[in-house]
Structure 1
Amino acid sequence: MSKAHQRRKQPEAVRQQVLEVAARLSLREGPARVTLEAVSQAAGVSKGGLLHHFPSKQALLDGMFDDLVGKFGQAIDEEMARHPAEAGRFTRAYLAVCFSPEHSGESDGWKTLVTELLAEPHLRARWRLWSERQAERHAATDGSVDAELVRFAVDGLWLSQLLDAPGPGPERQRALMDRLIALSRL
């Protein structure tokens, strides 16, 4: 049998491609228009191949959530390793990752996720659980009222940018971020 027509399987690459296509479709056409059929066609993957990775739309949404939140958590952990001062380290890393140019390329994915979070109660529950775990994990170093205030301010600034709402210009944003960093050290 000739191997000329056999394709080497790369399941993780296919899975990642499906997640990226689903996010783009959701952003461009809205979450309601994301169907397994539409994703399989746009990704160039058979429906069976898609179902192998994501047996339902719910599984696909969970996969998108896990992918983005996993990357976010990993980036925070990497950023925390750069901060020698323990007090407020998680909060400063959270701020840095939310506004880092390296992660701005993932903003389409976050726009999609925010849309899905608003529409899907189970994803909101998963986000709340992730947030609670981070608060518990870092309570000793980031449990102060000031650190919590900083994280809420970061969420507001980040969401404002994500939704293209009017916000502070670059100079003002830098001043706000500097102030938030200072608060995280208290």
Structure 2
Amino acid sequence: MSIAHHRRKQPIVVRQQLLDVAARLTMEQGIATVTLDAVAGASGVSKGGLLHHFPTKNALIDALFESLLERFDADIDRRMREDPDSHGRFSRAYLHAVSDLKDSPDEAAHWAQVTIALLAEPRLRDRWRVWVQLRTDEYIGTDSSIDAQIVRFAADGIWLADMLGSHALGDERGALVARLVELTNK
């Protein structure tokens, strides 16, 4: 009897391990080059074990996107809980969550690769669109002003600029974020 038969099954741990390896490989090699074989090999999980959790590469990428989105949501929710002013709270939390990605290189790299897939994959674009619409609807009473919308669009611009490395904001970054925060208070 092999060791595998004596090993305790931990499907949640294995699933997360596979997602972590997929995220790392995506960051190192780019999402287009990540294969199920590569994820299985790098994680030490058999291909059959990987296929149990993720029957296709698309299922793996979708799960990776969901995992990132859950962490992003949790970050936004934490920031909202810490903000005593309800007016514009979601827009401020979104702005800070996006602009602070640069301070977490691994998280930023994961989002960069998934954003590339997001642009190319209709199912991921649809999932992002649904997330944006749900959050927009949820905070319509506090974050529906034109200024709040401008802040969220500017945050998306910061995200893209950080991802592409196209704008070196330096000391201006703090002033830009502060000015955008001011807009959420109107």
Identity of aligned residues (%): 49
Unaligned regions of 5+ residues in structure 1, if any?
Answer: none
Cross-structure match for 1:69: 69
The amino acid across from 1:84 in the alignment is: P
Contact 2:108 2:163 in 1 (8 A): yes
Residues 1:106 and 1:4: Cα distance change in structure 2 (over 3 Å): closer
- Separation in 1, partners of 2:12, 2:4: 22
Of 157-166 and 76-85, more deviation after overlay is shown by 157-166
Cross-structure match for 2:16: 16
TM-score by length of 2: 0.91
- Separation in 2, partners of 1:5, 1:35: 27
Q: Mapping of 1:34-45 within 5 angstroms?
A: 34-45=34-45
Report the secondary structure of 1:99's partner residue: helix
The amino acid across from 1:15 in the alignment is: R
1:10 Cα offset (Å): 2.3
Cross-structure match for 1:90: 90
Residue by residue over 1:9-66, the C-alpha shift from the partner in whole angstroms, topping out at 9 and shown as x without a partner, is: 2222211121122122223323222221121111111011101111111111110011
Contact 1:97 1:103 in 2 (8 A): no
Contact 1:24 1:108 in 2 (8 A): no
Q: Mapping of 1:23-172 within 5 angstroms?
A: 23-100=23-100, 103-169=104-170, 171-172=171-172
TM-score by length of 1: 0.91
- RMSD (CA atoms): 2.1
Contact 2:26 2:110 in 1 (8 A): no
Residue by residue over 1:116-154, the C-alpha shift from the partner in whole angstroms, topping out at 9 and shown as x without a partner, is: 112211101110111111100111100000000001101
Contact 2:136 2:144 in 1 (8 A): yes
